[in-house]
Chains A and B, each alone.
Chain A
Amino acid sequence: MFGISFGRIAAVFVKELIQMRRDRLTFAMIIAIPIVQLVLFGYAINSDPKHLPTALNVQDNSVFARSLTAAMQNTGYFTITHIVKGEREGQDLLASGTVAFLLTVPPDFSRRLARGERPSLLMEADATDPAATANAMAAVSQLPATVFNNDLKGALTSLQATPPPFNVVVHRLYNPEGITSYNVVPGLIGVILTMTMVLITALAVTREVERGTMENLLAMPLQPFEVMVGKIAPYIVMGYIQVTVVLIAALLLFGVPMLGSWFDLSIALAIFIAANLSIGFTISTVAQNQLQAMQMTFFFFLPSILLSGFMFPFRGMPVWAQAIGEALPNTHFMRIVRGIMLKGAGLGELFGDIWPLLLFMLVVMGIALVRYRRTLD
């Protein structure tokens, strides 16, 4: 056998770069995917949705209750969509997701308010999507301090002073803890890279088979390692371009902090991108055509998005799902990026997640090299 030749790697590298530049559709996809995903997920990161449907269960039809509902609507977060008669009906609306909130004004509210007993209102919230309801909850808790100032006149003026004349008791239903939303940006980098990098290399090699250029490639004195490196390298550059797009948006639009070092981040990125590219290369050694390559990519992509901790909190998953998650590069990459960006951790502290990435990359590259065909058999 001959040694590895830099010239032959360069041959594949240059060819691939030219093809990448000419393939406008793929190029556009590579830039468009991060932007589209950012817009989609970015909405979730910056979630401050307004006009959430709210049901009222008013058992005390007084001037106070009317002021209260007006004030709630004025916060912009609530739109009263239902006036219910009875607790049961309200609960059903919440359970079905028709409304996000159910506000109950108890029967003796105004009487107890007037007596200065500081009565309570019950605010029940559908907290399955805590990010969506958090700001509305904050707004409602501001209400008691000011809402009745116009109504409390004459003998009741004394009640205007602090402490507020009544309480709002908030019940978060279904998902009491909630998830932190900073998870999303590191996760998004991982998800975007997983999807595009795996797909693009898988397609880049399968395309050679489909177009019949593979026969020529195999008839030339190119070694599998040279083809692999030459084909992967241009896409590492591409991966960095994507990450730059996502990071700029994350920092500018969503104010995600960057506490760690850019250098550490770029090292972690290089390993992660190479790991994904070698997955793509491996897929291309199995797939017969581009459609199959696409299907296999999604087969890999789904667990990467579902079991990596991007969609659901990792610690909340069953043990078997965590085990699968630990085997996926995206899981470790998300922890690394979160560590670097949000906690300011260095590569040394994150080594526990670096080595699985490295190991993954090496093993998959090995599989790809063994599987890469040397003949047309």
Chain B
Amino acid sequence: MNGELAIDVAGLTKKFGSRTVVKDFNIQVPKGQVWGFLGPNGSGKTTTIRMLCGLLLPDGGQGKCLGYDIRTQAAQIKRNVGYMTQRFSFYEDLSIRENLDFVARVYDMKGRKQAVDEAIAQLGLTKRQDQLAGELSGGWKQRLALAACILHRPQLLLLDEPTAGVDPQARRDFWEEIHTLAGQGLTVLVSTHYMDEAERCDRIVYLAYGTVLARGTVDEVIDNSDLFTWIVTGEEVRGLAQELHGKPGIDQVSVFGVTLHISGTDQAALERAIAPYRNRPGLTWTKSKPSLEDVFIHLMGPFREQVTG
């Protein structure tokens, strides 16, 4: 069984000074799956990914990536992992081809020129291959970074917010590519803030302030939450949202254009709170499952108070 896990770590802990940034982190990712890594900014996603690929030494815990010990076999892990950093970290003063060529040399690839040619062709950048990476737009930079990360045919891809600031079409292409790669047996762990991207993952792990708050498939995460939601549709939902805010029994109210999500953990209290408004004309009330976003915002609630209070 162990042989089929691409990532298998337990108890990972990382401190910066006296601050614990990641606490007791466990995951077991089977080979060939795509896992999403979610959580608010500063929750420790980047730190965790860095520990997985040997860039940071954990203060506690142990585990393996691709069967190599993350503490002692960082060199082997680095050869077989493709890590795409959150911030573009290829060379802006090198051209697209020069960057890829550098990567190919670093990984001692045989048939270097051919591999680079293919990667450029696949990117659709054959005509612009001599353009400096620094002159590329955000979306193209991300695609270049991804191409560079998979150039050496890694077995595990660690992608840190690879689609931040990328337009929807490019995001869709990006995910197509990721699923193609996963279909070829590559394991992917990808951090993101986008719910639609989370829904494309086999499993998601939700991290807040260094602690895993939820994990599983999207449905499992929603079902396991103790959240109840009503969805209201109508022209006047904005005004209704104002009125409902802060009522006992209502934890969250958020407007999505002409729909309103009202959620709370205590079903009875929630029903009581909305009862006076149920008969307003022009509004349609539906009892529903919470969305993933509702769940995440709910999960963060207690921490938000902790931070501000």
Contact = CB atoms under 8 A, between A and B. Distances in A.
B75 A1 contact: yes
A212 B89 CA distance: 6
Contacts of A219: 53-55, 78, 81, 83, 85
Interface stretch (A7-15, A46-54, A362-370): A7-15
Interface in A339-377: 374-377
Contacts, number: 77
B94 A15 contact: yes
Interface in A1-46: 1-2, 5, 7-8, 10-12, 14-15, 18-19, 22-23
Interface in B261-296: none
A213 B54 CA distance: 16
A8 B93 contact: no
A14 B106 contact: no
B106 A375 contact: no
A375 B89 contact: no
A220 B105 contact: no
The range of chain B's interface size is 20 to 34
B175 interface: no
A22 B92 CA distance: 11
Contacts of B94: 15, 18-19
Interface string A210-226: 01111110111111000
A375 B56 contact: yes
B98 A376 contact: no
B227 interface: no
A2 B94 CA distance: 28
A222 B93 contact: no
A22 to B, nearest CB: 5
A223 B108 CA distance: 13
Contact of B105 (A7, A19, A22): A7
B303 interface: no
Contacts of B50: 376
Contacts of A2: 75
Contact of A215 (B57, B85, B103): B85
A213 to B, nearest CB: 5
Nearest to A213: B89
B98 A215 contact: no
Interface in B203-221: none
Nearest to A376: B55
B59 to A, nearest CB: 10
Contacts of B107: 220-221
B194 interface: no
A375 B57 contact: yes
30 contacts: A1-B75, A5-B108, A11-B105, A11-B106, A14-B102, A14-B105, A15-B94, A18-B98, A19-B91, A19-B93, A22-B93, A211-B92, A212-B87, A212-B88, A212-B89, A213-B90, A216-B83, A216-B89, A218-B55, A219-B55, A219-B85, A220-B103, A220-B107, A221-B79, A223-B75, A375-B55, A375-B57, A375-B74, A376-B55, A377-B57
Interface of A: 1-2, 5, 7-8, 10-12, 14-15, 18-19, 22-23, 211-216, 218-223, 374-377
